[in-house]
Structure 1
């Protein structure tokens, strides 16, 4: 049928079904337990779900609470600095080349090397339950480039005629930023923030792999891998994907509410 388009929710459901089907197929054919052993590196989806059900979500909450807290703090810092620098470019256009290069360099830095330096430079978690400064730093670094680029593109999307009207009436560059550019840039900025949610969570997990911390998703995965507890490794992996997807969906919902004009929606009056 010409012009037929799958609804977004249906496309998502189909994607999940395909992924789970491929997961089950590989676990049943390629990654079967070796002869004389019951260990399998890729347990079936049903086994992983049964493990989560038997353990209970409450058993995983202390692990994810730490990592989510680190990701949120890093998300706030990384995006805050990125938006601030993008705003500086509008007030001082000559700074754009420098700030863009800083963003590109931050994106190109090898995470392993940066994480190793952060472990040495930043303080480690000294008490049980403390957050990892390395995890927060890597979470902030993971979102910086995306938000800088998204904000700059959004700010430049402002209508030139509207900017000229503000200037004719004596408005400064700051007035243009506040009354025109921020509104025009809102869709691009919110999209960048939405993409940054899973990036911040991944950065926090990588930081926990490198930083000294007693609790969190990263250190839990290390312990479970050492115990060869593959069902719980995959259970943590599945819950990690669910948390990242939930954060992505929440920011997406906020974006739809804040910028209803993007997809032609109207605001109720």
Structure 2
């Protein structure tokens, strides 16, 4: 007997509708005593939509464009350094311990603790310019995941293929270029995909600490201080949408670059 399955888009639509309905009912019942209108801690979906209309596209573009630049720069720096060190470990195996210790330290140190230090060292940005602190924290947020994912992939190469390279006089560098990178490509692309929302979150946290005038962080702070709950929720929802869109775009690139890796997890 053939079983009926909903297509992925239908499942997502049903899940999204149920989530919005739960949010709406909760705002009108459980959290109805937290205020009314813009002062309600949990606004209803129509109130958030009205907040979008009141703020306008220009408000969101002005702030999100700055944060996206910071997240993109941190994404490139953090992932680039992580990939370089992972490749270096395969060429010089003795460095693996030091690289892994560095990656673990960057993952374990609280961002709220290292953020103020980064601000003192890097300094506050000029008005309208990307925050160096936000770029640094975005890079820090992606470093650990990419290092670990890349090393796991690079070490997953077929031993027989590595032996063939060795027999023909190849070095560890030759193995890396000819065999390991190709074998690790699905793992690396998965790590880069996971790094997208991490970089965006790191940039937003950097703006909270980085004394910037424009960006998602200061916009969120201003909305919170003004008790504008619909705008706070609107900014949060756009942040989630941007992170999800970036995650999906890198996933599409991964499928195009390494189509054989579909369904494979790190």
Q: Aligning the two structures, in what range does the TM-score lie when normalised by the shorter sequence?
A: over 0.9
Structure 1 CA distance for aligned equivalents of residues 3 and 178 of structure 2: 38
Partner of 1:98: 98
CA RMSD of aligned residues (A): 2.0
TM-score (norm 2): 0.92
Structure 1 CA distance for aligned equivalents of residues 51 and 34 of structure 2: 21
Partner of 2:79: 79
Cα 1:108–1:178 change in 2 (3 A) is: same
- Where 1:56 maps in the other structure, the secondary structure is helix
Partner of 2:162: 163
Structure 2 CA distance for aligned equivalents of residues 211 and 144 of structure 1: 20
- Where 1:30 maps in the other structure, the secondary structure is coil
TM-score (norm 1): 0.91
Instruction: Report the alpha carbon displacement of residue 3 of structure 1 after superposing the two structures with TM.
Output: 8.2
Cα deviation 1:94-133 (Å, max 9, x = unaligned): 211121111111100011101111111112112x211111
Cα 1:28–1:100 change in 2 (3 A) is: same
Structure 1 CA distance for aligned equivalents of residues 111 and 10 of structure 2: 36
In the alignment, does 2:209 pair up with 1:182?
no
Conserved? CA contact 1:33–1:39, under 8 Å? no
Higher helix share: 2
Partner of 1:30: 30
Alignment gaps of 5+ in structure 2: none
Instruction: Report the alpha carbon displacement of residue 25 of structure 1 after superposing the two structures with TM.
Output: 2.5
Partner of 2:197: 198
- Where 2:260 maps in the other structure, the secondary structure is coil
Structure 1 CA distance for aligned equivalents of residues 33 and 247 of structure 2: 36
Structure 2 CA distance for aligned equivalents of residues 180 and 3 of structure 1: 42
Partner of 1:244: 243
Structure 2 CA distance for aligned equivalents of residues 36 and 202 of structure 1: 30
Instruction: Report the alpha carbon displacement of residue 37 of structure 1 after superposing the two structures with TM.
Output: 8.2
Partner of 2:135: 136
